[in-house]
Structure 1
Amino acid sequence: MVFCGRVNPITGALDWIEEDENYDYHQEIARSSYADMLHDKDRNKKYYQGIRAAVKRVKDRGEEAVVLDIGTGTGLLSMMALTAGADYCYAVEVFKPMADAATQIVKVNGFGDKIKVINKHSTEVTVGADGDMTRRANILITELFDTELIGEGALPSYEHAQHNLMQERWEAVPHRATIYAQVVESHKLWSWNKLLPMQLESGNLEPPYEMQSCPGAPSVCDVQLSQLNPRDFRPLSDILVVFRVDFSKQVSSSPASHIVNFTSLADGSAQVVLSWWDIDMDPEATIICSMKPSWLYPALHAAPWRDHWMQCVYFLPEEKKVTQGEEICLIANQDDYCVWYNMTNSRTADGSLTDSPACRCGAHITWNRARFGELNDQKRMDKYKEALKTILMPSSVCLCVSDSSLLPILAHSVGAAQVFTLEPSSLAHQLMDKILQTNNLKNKIHILQKSPDKVTAADLGERKVTALIGEPFFTTSLLPWHNLCFWYSRMALSEHLAKDCTVLPMSASLYVLAVEFKDLWRTRSPCGNCEGFDVSIMDEMIKKSLDFRESQEAEPHPLWEYPCRALSDPTKLLTFDFRKKIPTEEMKAEGSLSLVRSGVCHGVVLWMEYQLTEDISISTGLLQLSDETGSCQWYPHRKQGVYFFNYLWNLGLAPTDCHSSVTYNLMFNPQQGDIRMSFIPKS
């Protein structure tokens, strides 16, 4: 056992936790996407068809089929190659636990003498009598792709392998990849990237120029575009072929730009590029594995679900007004790991590579996309504004405790005499300072670059705080209850609060709902037999990892991307009253959830609801529930907690209609700021 230092996201304290020395390894296995990939029948089927065709092409030339499988994972594709008639396979896997698992899996399936698992990065593999490979391969199989296609270093890996590990002529599976893009206008998506003007009591809150002109974050926004309503964007271009990569020819990882000219379909503001890719498994493109979103499939054709590959949202460096019929040039730039886009008039495009976007304003470093969306949610901010109107007076001394919050500005706009806000982070302090300066509020709202326990009476002008406010939101929070940090901050500030100090929100309540997921359960379901191969060793590894403390608890997921049905009614478990001191005794909740709808109960969802005032509340989870179907609408700007049942592993798949309730036992430990939980389905 070893001691690991971790910052407690609720209390803010550094906790020393005793963990197994293999803790990080078990967490990596538990959080991996291997189950998701193995359950992706469309992917597996297309890969096998492509492998079988490649082996046949080599055999038809009278050659032995020698396969190099880079990133073999469980060894599934290598075993497919041997089944398809390949003579030998070198399976390369850099992650040692997976390489060990692959070694066992290929032996269990009877391929131990025909598949050599090499635990190295492919660029370290050697060829020769004493090398890792005794001969070069003539079939290259890879699954090195991510949502962006090239984000896991596929291009340099291909480049090295083709130069050093392959024969002069080789077949590749997949054979080629095609990147697609569509330019759109979307207020919803754009609000994930820029701070937009916000309506106040007296005019608008305007974002600083540095934010408006900032090109944004360099990283792609990967998302389940299938869950985005097509009404949330307006297409300004057709679906465009941006570039292709032919894996049967020498690949280059050198930076490049790709010019695509198109005619604008409508008047609008070009803001966002939606993108995805297809891979052709054979030269004739008769076997295609596509990542396109569901709304591009025929009405009666269900899109294959996968979470290991999604779709991309790229934000243009600045929005550009276009008119219908205008000739426009979209420029895709790529290096060996990333893609980024620019747009210009087709007559001025010169094809030169532009620099990758980098945040200059600090906002894209401080806030993630969901936080941008939350700050731009006018309906949500209106609720806070109405709540603040009921508690603030001209004489109020207001202190805000939330990271990078606009509540201090709302408090000032409704008439608070003095407003203070805590921003312990220097970057967040600079960011808020820019916003205040742009809106002539710098002398009216005071930013304290301090944690709550470091605030002094002098910082507050020797005045007591009469209104303590928060959203609450903290950048260190992963799970919904981590924002109970607000309660601990309130206790740290106790000596500075007036006796009749109003606290907003008044309280927070933890809710739970038993659900049936449409697809998300696949990431936690065992594979056992996959495409005719025994991969149960992988199941055992993941099950063992899930037995570790942290993996038995809830996981954060943005459920607006993952549809589910409610099988129970939403139930309040615990209420935390911020107007009172944190209790010294543990808070407990025990009981059961009755399942009022039939279905497969995969687990429960947990979220927080905040009571701002007696009449105004905010939910960070369930927004709407259909009584008839049980379909759920989830708050899109926060992640909800998902607790999967372990019986998915005990029984293989959750049995239908065999449970009538879910018993629960939760315990909140005030000293540790931790919630321990147990949920068990009962017949």
Structure 2
Amino acid sequence: MVFCGRVNPITGSLVWIEEDENYDYHQEIARSSYADMLHDKDRNEKYYQGIRAAVKRVKERGEEVIVLDIGTGTGLLSMMAVTAGADYCYAIEVFKPMADAAEQIVKANGFGDKIKVINKHSTEVTVGPDGDMMQRANILITELFDTELIGEGALPSYEHAQHNLMQECWEAVPHRATVYAQVVESHRLWSWNKLLPMQLDSRTVQPPSEMESCPGAPSVCDVQLSQVKLEDFRPLSDILVVFRVDFSKQISSSPVSHIVNFTSLANGAAQVVLSWWDIDMDPEATINCSMKPSWLYPALHPVPWRDHWMQCVYFLPKETKVTQGEEMSLIAHQDDYCVWYNLTTPSAADCHSTEIAACRCGAHITWNRARFGELNDQARMDKYKEALKEVLTPSSVCLCVSDGSLLPMVAHSAGAAQVFTLESSFMAQQLMDKLLQTNNLKETIHILQKSQDNITAADLGEMKVTALVGEPFFTTSLLPWHNLCFWYSRTALSRHLAKDCTVLPMSASLCVLVVEFKDLWRIRSPCGNCEGFDVSIMDEMIKKSLDFRESQEAEPHPLWEYPCRALSDPSNLITFDFREKVPTEDIIAEGSLNLVRSGVCHGVVLWMSYQLTEDISVSTGLLEVSDETGDCHWYPHRKQGVYFFSSLWNLASAPKESQSAVTYQLTFKPQIGELRMSFIPKT
């Protein structure tokens, strides 16, 4: 056992936890996408078809079939190769626990004499009588791809293997990859990248000029693009082939730029590049596995679902106005790990800078994509504005407690005489300072870059706070209830609050809903048998790691990307009263959730709803449920908590005379800032 220091996201305090020395291993297994990949039937079938075709081509040349499988994981692709007729297979896996599992799986399926699992990085593998491989391979099988295709270091791994581990002539599965892109205008997607002007009654909050001109964060935004509606963007280009990678030829990981010329389809503002890729498993491109979004499939065509590979949203460094029929050049810059884009005219394409864009304003370092979207949510901000107008007066002394919030400016606009804002980090303080200066509020709103425990009366001008407000939002929060940090801040600030101090939000409720997921259940569902191979050892590893995890009760997911149906009515299980201090005794809720719809019960979703005033509330989770279908509409700018059941529960098979329900027991332990939960399906 080892002791590790951690900051509790709710209390904000540092705690020392005794952890098993295998903690990091269990975390990596629990957070992996192994189950998702093993459930990806389309991927598995296409790989199997491609492997069989490659083995056949080598055998037709009269050669012994020697396979190199880089990143073997469970060993599935290696077993496919031997089943297809390969004479021997070297399966490389750098993660030791996974390599050990692959060795067990290979032996359990009877392939121990034909598959050698090598626990090394592929660049460390040697060939020769005393090496890891007795001879070079003539079929190269890999699954080194991520949503961006090359983000897991696929190109350097291919480059080294082709130089050092492969014969002069080799087959590759997949054979080639093609990256596609489309230039679009999208207010919704652009609001994930820029702070847009915010209307506050008689004035508009403007972003600082350096924020407007900032090229943004260089990292790709990976999403389930199928859940972005067609009306949320306007195509300005056709779908373009940006570049191809032929894995059967020598690959270079050196930086390169690809220039693609196109004619603009419409007038608009070019802001975003949507991108995805596909892989051909054979030279003739008859076996294709595509990552394209669902709206590009023909009607009624089955759409493969996968979470380990999604689609990419790239934000252009600046918004560019284009006119219909105008010739433009999209430039894709590629190094050994990532891709980034620029847009220019054909005449300027050759002299365009190849440097990757990086944030200069600090906002893209302080706020993630979802937070940008939340700050740009005018409807949400209007609710806060309405609530603050109800509680603030010209004599109000207002203190805002949230990370990087616009509420101080809303409070000032609502009429507060004095406004203070508590910023937890130097970066957030600098960002707020720029915002206030741009909007001529630097002398009106006072920034306190201190912890709530260190605030003094002098910091507040010897005044008592008459209105304590928050969204609440804290950058350290992962799960919805982590933002109860606001309650602990309110308690720590009690000595500075007036007796009749208004607290907004006045309370928060922990809400739950029993759901059937369309696809997300796959990431936690046992695989057992995959394409005829027993991989149940992997199921045992994942289950053990999930049971081991500290946060085994729930995990965060942005449910707007993952369709689901409500099987129960939404319920408020615990209400936290922010008008009072954090209690010392546990808060316990027990009961049952009656199920009102049939379906397969996959788990429970949890979120927070905040009561700003008696008649104004905001939800960070469920927004609407369809009465007819039970389809759920989720708040898109926060992640919700998902508690997966250990096994699927089909309500259609439950006795009709019984009332199906999910019993629950929740315990919030204020002393340590921990929420413990148990949900059990019952009939």
Interval of TM-score (by shorter of Structure 1 and Structure 2): over 0.9
Aligned to 1:110: 110
**SS of alignment partner, residue 286 of structure 1:** coil
5 Å-filtered alignment, 1:406-417, equals 406-417=406-417
Partner of 1:634: 634
| Distance (whole Å) between structure 1 residues aligned to residue 329 and residue 235 of structure 2 | 15
The letter for the 1-side match of 2:349 is: A
C-alpha distance in 2, partners of 1:215/1:56?
49
**1: CA distance, partners of 2:353 / 2:601:** 51
Report SS of the residue matched to 2:453. Answer: helix
Residue 201 of structure 1 is matched in structure 2 by: 201
Q: Which residue does the alignment assign to 1:290?
A: 290
Q: Which residue of 2 aligns with 1:571?
A: 571
CA deviations on 1:254-311 (whole Å, 9 max, x unpaired) are: 0000000000000000000000000000001000000000000001102100000000
Alignment of 1:213-228 (within 5 A): 213-228=213-228
Amino acid at match of 2:504: L
Residue 511 in 1 paired to residue 511 in 2? yes
Asked whether 1:388 is paired with 2:388, we answer yes
Alpha-carbon shift at residue 22 of structure 1 (Å): 1.1
Partner SS state of residue 419, structure 1: strand
CA contact (8 A) 1:605 1:643 kept: yes
Q: Which residue of 1 aligns with 2:61?
A: 61
3-state secondary structure, aligned to 2:601: coil
> Taking structure 1 as reference, are residues 187 and 378 closer, same or farther at Cα in structure 2, changes over 3 Å only?
same
User: How much does 1:582 deviate?
Assistant: 1.2
Q: Quick one: structure 1 residues 655 and 94, their matched pair in 2 at CA, closer, same or farther if it must change by over 3 Å?
A: farther
Q: Find the counterpart in structure 1 of residue 49 from structure 2.
A: 49
Partner residue of 1:532?
532
Distance, in Å, in 2 between the alignment partners of 1:444 and 1:643 is 45
Q: Which residue of 1 aligns with 2:618?
A: 618
What whole-Å deviation, never above 9, does each CA across 1:176-225 have from its counterpart, x for those lacking one? 00000000000000000000000012221110011101010011000000
The alignment's C-alpha RMSD in Å is: 1.0
CA distance, structure 2, for counterparts of residue 43 and residue 175 of structure 1: 14
Cα distance in 1 for residues equivalent to 2:650 and 2:474:
36
Instruction: Give the aligned partner of residue 681 of structure 1.
Output: 681
Q: Distance in 1 between matches of 2:513 and 2:297?
A: 32
CA contact (8 A) 1:72 1:93 kept: yes
Query: Are residues 1:463 and 2:494 paired?
Result: no
- Structure 2 match to 1:493: 493
Secondary structure of the 2:541 match is helix
Contact 1:214 1:359 (8 Å CA) reproduced: yes
What is the SS of the residue equivalent to 2:502? strand
Q: Tell me if 1:341 matches 2:336.
A: no
> Residues of 2 paired with 1:656 and 1:220: CA distance?
42
Contact 2:594 2:661 in 1 (8 A): yes
What does residue range 346-425 of structure 1 map to in structure 2 within 5 Å? 346-350=346-350, 354-425=354-425
Residue number in structure 1 paired with 2:92:
92
Indicate the SS of the match to 2:3.
Answer: strand
Instruction: Give CA deviations for 1:507-556 in whole Å, capped at 9, x if unaligned.
Output: 00000000000000000000001000000110111111122252531100
The percent identity for this pair of structures is: 84
Q: What is the deviation of 1:581? A: 1.5
1:174 aligns with 2:174: yes
With normalisation by structure 2, the TM-score equals 0.99
Is the 8 Å Cα contact of residues 598 and 657 (structure 1) preserved in structure 2?
Answer: no
Match of 1:559 in 2: 559
**Post-superposition offset of 1:646:** 1.4
Q: Hey, what's the Cα distance between the residues in 2 that align with 1:507 and 1:333?
A: 49
Q: CA deviation at 1:20?
A: 1.8
Match of 2:155 in 1: 155
Residue identity in the other structure for 1:567: L
Unpaired runs of 5+ residues, structure 2, are none
What is the CA–CA distance in structure 1 between the aligned matches of 2:231 and 2:427, rounded to whole Å?
Answer: 36
Deviation (angstroms), 1:351: 6.1
2:469 alignment partner AA: I
Q: Deviations over 1:69-112 (max 9, x none)?
A: 00000000000000111100000000011100000000010100
Instruction: Provide Cα deviations, 1:109-138, integer angstroms capped at 9, x if missing partner.
Output: 010010000000000000111000010000
Aligned residues: 679
**Higher mean C-alpha deviation, range 198-207 or range 227-236:** 198-207
The residue aligned with 2:258 is 258
Residues 96, 119 of structure 1: 8 Å contact kept: yes
Cα-to-partner distance string for 1:302-327 (whole Å, 9 max, x where unaligned): 21000000000000000000000000
Cα distance in structure 2, aligned partners of 1:260 and 1:571: 52
- Distance across 2 between alignment mates of 1:381 and 1:149: 38
Per the TM alignment, residue 637 of structure 1 is displaced from its structure 2 partner at its CA by 0.1
What residue number does 2:666 align with? 666
Q: Secondary structure at the match of 2:349?
A: coil
Query: In structure 1, how many angstroms separate the alpha carbons of the residues matched to 2:74 and 2:249?
Result: 27
Query: What's 1:71 paired with?
Result: 71
CA distance in 1, matches of 2:492, 2:254: 54
Match of 2:9 in 1: 9
Match in the other structure for 1:581: 581
Are the aligned partners of 2:26 and 2:549 in contact in 1 as well (CA < 8 Å)?
no
Amino acid at match of 2:296: L
Instruction: Describe the superposition over 1:591-621 as per-residue Cα deviations: whole angstroms up to 9, x where unpaired.
Output: 0001100000000000000000001000000
Cα distance in 2 between the residues matched to 1:349 and 1:539:
51
| C-alpha distance in structure 1 between counterparts of 2:416 and 2:528, whole Å | 62
The answer to whether the aligner puts 1:645 opposite 2:637 as a matched pair is no
Residue identity in the other structure for 1:164 = N
- Secondary structure of the residue aligned to 2:350 is coil
- Equivalent positions of 1:11-50 (< 5 A) are 11-50=11-50
What is the rounded CA distance, in whole Å, between the counterparts of 1:414 and 1:484 in structure 2? 25
Range with greater deviation from structure 2 (345-354 or 158-167): 345-354
Equivalent AA in structure 2 for residue 84 of structure 1: A
Task: Give SS of 1:404's match.
Answer: coil
How much does 1:490 deviate?
A: 0.3
- Residue 146 of structure 1 aligns with which residue? 146
Partner residue in 1 for 2:165: 165
Residue identity opposite 1:177 in structure 2 = A
- Mark the CA change 1:445 to 1:254 in structure 2 (over 3 Å): closer, same or farther: same
Tell me which amino acid in the other structure corresponds to 2:676.
Answer: R
What is the rounded CA distance, in whole Å, between the counterparts of 1:656 and 1:162 in structure 2? 53
Q: Which amino acid aligns with 2:486?
A: F
Q: Which amino acid aligns with 1:624?
A: E
- TM (normalized to structure 1)? 0.99
CA distance in 1, matches of 2:128, 2:542: 36
Secondary structure class of the residue paired with 2:503: strand
2: distance between equivalents of 1:360 and 1:307?
A: 32
1:534 maps to amino acid:
D
* Aligned equivalents of 1:424, 1:35: Cα separation in 2: 38
Counterpart CA distance in 2 for 1:201 and 1:41 is: 54
State the partner residue of 1:329. Answer: 329
Quote the Cα distance in structure 1 between the aligned partners of 2:493 and 2:434: 26
Report the Cα distance in structure 2 between the residues aligned to 1:594 and 1:301, rounded to whole angstroms.
Answer: 36
The 3 A distance-change label for structure 1 pair 79 and 632 is same
Contact 1:256 1:353 in 2 (8 A): no
Taking a change above 3 Å as real, the CA distance of residues 98 and 232 of structure 1, as seen in their structure-2 partners, is same
Give the Cα separation in 2 of the matches to 1:400 and 1:656.
50
Tell whether the 8 Å contact from 1:422 to 1:450 is kept in structure 2 after alignment: yes
Displacement after TM superposition at 1:2 (Å): 2.2
* Code of the aligned partner of 1:528: G
Is the 8 Å Cα contact of residues 207 and 435 (structure 2) preserved in structure 1? yes
1:629 deviates by: 0.8
Question: Match for 1:646: what amino acid?
Answer: S
Task: Provide the residue aligned with 1:310 in structure 2.
Answer: 310
